[in-house]
Amino acid sequence: MTLVAGVDSSTQSTKVLVVDADSGEVVREGRAAHPDGTECPPSAWWSAFLEASDGLLEGVEALSVGGQQHGMVLVDESGDVVRPALLWNDTRSAADSLDLIGEFGGAQQWADAVGSVPVASFTVTKLRWMARHEPDALQRAAMVMLPHDWVTWQLTGGSCFDATTDRGDASSTGYWSPITGTYRHDVLALAAGRELGVPRVAAPSDLVGHTSAGIAVGPGTGDNPAAALGVSAEVGDVVISLGTSGTAFAVSETPAHDASGEVAGFADATGRFLPLVCTLNAARVLTATAQLLGVNFDQFSDLALTAPAGAGGLTLVPYLDGERTPNLPDATGTLVGMTRDNMTPQCLARAAVEGMLCGLADAVDALKAQGVVPRRFLLVGGAAASPAVQLVAASLFGGEVTVPEPGEYVALGAARQAAWILRGGTEPPRWNASSTGIVTATQAPQVRARYAEVTDALR
């Protein structure tokens, strides 16, 4: 058996899967937590990797890293980290994103240049924030990396001048163009006020180095492109991922450049493209509501299933942590339509599920406007195991929903890339993706209509 490993260095933890390179079967796995917050010392990711991989990598021939996108890691000429990394969920650069849009000539110019209109999560806006608020630290920086770049660099033990990234993660920075396949150094300099080094963009199946134990290391990618690899998404597949954030993305043969800013025109990890819409509020909306109701996740799902579609007129706008799509970083959640009849645990649970998924149904519509023609919907992430989430998703997305077996799909996608490095070829190896089944439901357009009415009134 040939073994490969995939690493998911996410917001909350590091997961390591050791996988059979031929079948994709998981052989063993490990996990270690990350500190909470919107900043993190990169050394914490490395410590978590060492803990999660302890005793797992014997016999492994190749590995790759999937990592949280958008984060900013600054290193000096010696390769030392200048300051704790700013993560994707740090929204302090919201005002800087607006300034950059204006300075570059507007949203359409951004979309044409780099495929996306920057919002506070993007690395490019964090560089502008640094230029304004921590100029001395930025002046010490020689290179800006993404989180997965830094972890890959640690694995290969190279100098910062040997650092690599991939097109999938580079496209999330705001200064690399998936349309042309090149860095926009003018955009980077506009944000930072000076030139900065950037990692080399490796090809999807490139070997970028070896660990000290001789394990081959692939270029890795961002968490969303890795998840697309992990579920074996093909052109026309729309993946709905319900984790800390919610994302809707689709594999496409053509790049997106949406001037509205709703769709980020990312690249994928195979040479194609990955138009993506991200919301800040996904699974934690459900866990927060379950905690309020004093029930566990299974009980919460049961409550939601006993309420009618539309929750008796109760609508939750779930902007509990601000929101990215729509771009409302300072927004808060709103509960609308309360009556004595619908103020029940059942209706509140249903409203939470519907509110979370209405935002993602809007995301699917935005993808369609960019030319995506959905073939099927794949529902993944921790919240996808909920029967209530599955049923409501099928009632809102306009098609049947496939639910892959629960799994660590970012780490699995990274492992699939590692197998690609060993096997070679123009496409990653085919692994059979199993599912728990296909979910269908009666469509509920009235739920989305009410949600649209409420959100329009709040803007």
- Interval 159-174: pLDDT, tens: 656 899 999 999 999 9
Strand partners, 14: 9, 32
User: Nearest Cα to 44, choosing from 16, 71, 12?
Assistant: 12
* Lowest model confidence (mean pLDDT) among 110-119, 214-223, 240-249: 240-249
Q: What is the DSSP letter of 170?
A: H
> In terms of DSSP H, where are the helices of 104-233?
107-114, 123-133, 135-140, 147-156, 167-170, 185-192, 223-230
pLDDT surpasses 60 at 437 = yes
CB 416 within 8 A of CB 429: yes
DSSP letter string, 186-207: HHHHHHHSS--B--EEE-TT--
Q: What is the mean pLDDT of residues 89-113?
A: 95
Task: Name which residue leads in pLDDT, 373 or 434.
Answer: 373
How far is the C-alpha of 9 from the C-alpha of 416, rounded, in Å? Answer: 16
How far is the C-alpha of 437 from the C-alpha of 402, rounded, in Å? Answer: 6
Q: Is 287 in a helix, a strand, or coil? A: helix
Question: If pLDDT is split at 50, 70 and 90, which confidence band does 322 have?
Answer: confident
How far is the C-alpha of 324 from the C-alpha of 172, rounded, in Å? Answer: 14
Domains assigned to the chain? 3-223 (3.30.420.40)
pLDDT surpasses 90 at 89 = no
Q: What angle do CA 115, 118, 123 make, to 5 degrees?
A: 105
Question: If pLDDT is split at 50, 70 and 90, which confidence band does 136 have?
Answer: very high
Question: If pLDDT is split at 50, 70 and 90, which confidence band does 270 have?
Answer: very high
Burial class (CB in 10 A: 0-12, 13-18, 19+), 61: middle
In percent, the amount of the chain with pLDDT more than 90 equals 87
Give me the active site residues, please. 223
